[in-house]
Amino acid sequence: MIDDGWVPDRMCVTVDLVIFTILDGALSALIVERGIPPYAGTWALPGGFVGRHEPLEDAARRELREETGLGAEELHLEQLGAFGDPERDPRDRVVTVAYLALAPDLPLPTAGTDARAARWMAIDSIVSGQLALAFDHRKILRHGLDRARSKLEYTSLASAFCGKEFTITELRNVYEVVWNTKLDPRNFHRKITRAPGFLEPTGRRTTRDGGRPAELYRRGDASLLHPPMLMPTGS
Amino acid sequence: MIDDGWVPDRMCVTVDLVIFTILDGALSALIVERGIPPYAGTWALPGGFVGRHEPLEDAARRELREETGLGAEELHLEQLGAFGDPERDPRDRVVTVAYLALAPDLPLPTAGTDARAARWMAIDSIVSGQLALAFDHRKILRHGLDRARSKLEYTSLASAFCGKEFTITELRNVYEVVWNTKLDPRNFHRKITRAPGFLEPTGRRTTRDGGRPAELYRRGDASLLHPPMLMPTGS
DNA sequence: AGACCTAATCGTCAGGTTGACATGAAGACT
DNA sequence: AGTCTTCATGTCAACCTGACGATTAGGTCT
């Protein structure tokens, strides 16, 4: 397939980022307003072209920095997969590699070089179609949401939404917001404190949630959650 | 990033396939002997370039057909993700999208157009490094293995290794081979028969495994396994 | 200060699930 | 007929889960 003069097609490769955080009790995604065609003026996931000699994940971090001003060094990026529908970009064939990250509260994004603006947006508005995103970015975001939901089940990833130190209630709020359910505070407390390696007590306390002071915890060193925290079923 | 004359880099995109089956009690992967440089004469995962207007999954099925002669129509392909290390192809920048599939017994592969030969190979020889694969294909296979292992836990995918009709013992063998563990036949039987939608009784029986005749089952319509079948822990 | 509010933590208890192991059942082989 | 092999069903204690009650430790209001 090479010696007979046939030459493989070349195409553009991009990275796109699904960055979630929790803002005012709503699961929100980072989006940017596109400053250039196609879809100029439309909101989209942050992302951009991969350089010829650039590793995919490096490109993802670079775009995050360039387009949003977020210091992405400590963010854990997880690859969601490749999206390569031939029709997904009107100009030309573009294959994109999507990444997922969960960010703790508050890093306020600012527009960077290529984007007019950057902001957090509640994902409900996007999933419901109320706010349209460019390209197939709604589909990508939907994938990211599914991935995040299931990762909470069997990994300790939920704490990535929290700050350095957090209470069990704050952690429970993460589950409730991402899963869109209510969880019993007492059963959650029991389960999470018994999971080996999830939490590390700091000895300190806080009253920021009101009521009786709550213990503050740090992330433990376990990345897997065993036994898993199963999402409540309808049945 | 476009109007100022800058043009994005273009690169080659390929698909690679991790196809597992169980052969003589060993988890095995489909590999082909490369007929062209680079790595001519070396074994590799089946795969090839994606056409300019070709969807990624179509390319995967096409390559599977071309290189191995396997009729891939009924195989369920699951995307593993993109692998894009700039050094992974010695000639040029090539980003590959990997797919995973589980095949039932016996489809004997034959060499196709681009490959000199195709065969099943026990994955132990590959993972241990005894048999070297081209490019980063060992890493990709390793990812496929991890994915398959964890998918057995919470999906009904194990039956994809079996024929149309199978016994519970055959299904248990799948778990034992993929997980490389022994499972208690009685507890496994109890759990799998209680999982809603996993099995559908045919009413027929077989004695092909010796001993008392075993009930034959078909795949049920459930794709998720609830509650999950957790891989036994060391602890 | 004392009553009241809020939320965190600790208990209780019934029902389900799991892991370990015993027992009976159905055909093949000698 | 007896034995062997594997399938199928049963038992039981330990653990986990879901649904709540009860207690505790701070704020806040009067």
ipTM of the complex: 0.93
Kindly report the pTM of this predicted structure. Answer: 0.94
Closest residue by C-alpha to C1' distance, nucleotide C10:
A186
How close does chain B come to A204, measured CA to CA in Å? 31
pLDDT at residue A116 above 90? no
Q: How does pLDDT run across A54-64, given as a tens digit for each residue?
A: 999 999 999 98
Q: State the amino acid at position B134 in one-letter form.
A: A
A3 vs B155, higher pLDDT: B155
Contacts with B9 from chain A: Cβ below 8 Å: 12, 49-52
pLDDT (tens digit, 0 to 9) for every residue of chain B, 235 residues total? 445 678 999 999 999 999 999 999 999 999 999 988 899 999 999 999 999 999 999 999 999 888 887 766 789 999 999 999 999 999 999 999 999 999 997 677 776 667 789 999 999 999 999 999 999 999 999 999 999 999 999 999 999 999 999 999 999 999 999 999 999 999 999 999 999 999 999 999 999 988 999 999 999 999 999 999 999 987 6
Q: What is the DSSP letter of B233?
A: P
pLDDT at residue A2 above 70? no
Q: Which helix (H) or strand (E) holds A205?
A: strand A199-206
Contact A53 B86 (CB under 8 A): yes
Per-residue pLDDT, A105: 74
Contact A6, A89 (CB under 8 A): no
Structure tokens at B3: 């109007």
Residue A214's nearest nucleotide, by CA–C1', is C8
Per-residue pLDDT, B77: 96
CA distances from A30 to A18, A38, A137, A171, B30 (A): 7, 20, 12, 21, 41
Q: Name which of A90, A56, A83, A68 is nearest A21 in CA terms.
A: A68
Our CA dihedral for A216, A219, A220, A221, rounded to 10 degrees, sits at: -160
* Strand C close to B187 by CB, under 7 A: yes
The distance (Å) linking the CA of B212 with the C1' of C25 is 8
* Strand D close to A191 by CB, under 7 A: yes
Q: How confident is the model at residue A6 (pLDDT cuts 50, 70, 90)?
A: confident
The distance (Å) linking the CA of A187 with the C1' of D21 is 13
Per-residue pLDDT, A113: 67
Closest residue by C-alpha to C1' distance, nucleotide D18:
A187
* Strand C close to A185 by CB, under 7 A: yes
Q: How does pLDDT run across A194-217, given as a tens digit for each residue?
A: 999 999 999 999 999 889 999 999
Per-residue pLDDT, A111: 66
Mean pLDDT of chain A: 93
How close does chain A come to B195, measured CA to CA in Å? 14
What span, in angstroms and rounded, lies between the C-alpha atoms of B107 and B19? 11
Per-residue pLDDT, A112: 66
Percent of chain A with pLDDT over 70: 94
Per-residue pLDDT, B111: 66
Question: Which bases of chain C are under 7 A from a protein CB atom?
Answer: 5-11, 17-22, 24-28
CB-based burial, A3-16: b 16+ in 10 Å, e otherwise: eeeeebebbbbbbb
Residue A172 has φ and ψ, to the nearest 5°, of -65, -35
Q: Where are the alpha helices (DSSP H) in B93-206?
A: 123-127, 137-154, 168-179, 185-194
Q: How does pLDDT run across A12-42, given as a tens digit for each residue?
A: 999 999 999 999 999 999 999 998 889 999 9
